[in-house]
Copies of this chain bind each other. A is one copy, B any other.
Amino acid sequence: MPKAVVLLSGGLDSSTVLALVQQQGYEVYALSFSYGQRHNVEIEAAKRIANSANVAEHAIIDIDLRGFGGSALTADIDVPKDRSENEINTGIPITYVPARNTIFLSFALAKAEVLGSFDIFVGVNALDYSGYPDCRPEYVASFEAMANLATKASVEGEGVLKIHAPLIDQTKAEIIARGLELGVDYGQTISCYDPDTTGAACGGCDSCQLRKKGFTEAGVTDPTRYQNS
Which residues does A use to contact B, with CB under 8 Å? 59, 61-65, 67-70, 92, 96, 98-103, 105-107, 109-111, 113-114, 133-134, 136, 138-139, 142-143, 145-147, 149-152, 154-156
Contact = CB atoms under 8 A, between A and B. Distances in A.
Contact of A110 (B68, B113, B139): B68
Given A133-B151, A149-B138, A107 B99 contact: yes
Contacts of A105: 106
Given A92-B152, A92-B156, A114 B68 contact: yes
Q: Interface of chain A, helix or strand or loop or mixed?
A: helix
B114 A133 contact: no
Nearest to A132: B152
16 contacts: A61-B63, A63-B63, A68-B111, A92-B152, A98-B109, A98-B113, A99-B106, A99-B107, A99-B109, A102-B150, A103-B103, A133-B150, A133-B151, A134-B150, A138-B149, A142-B142
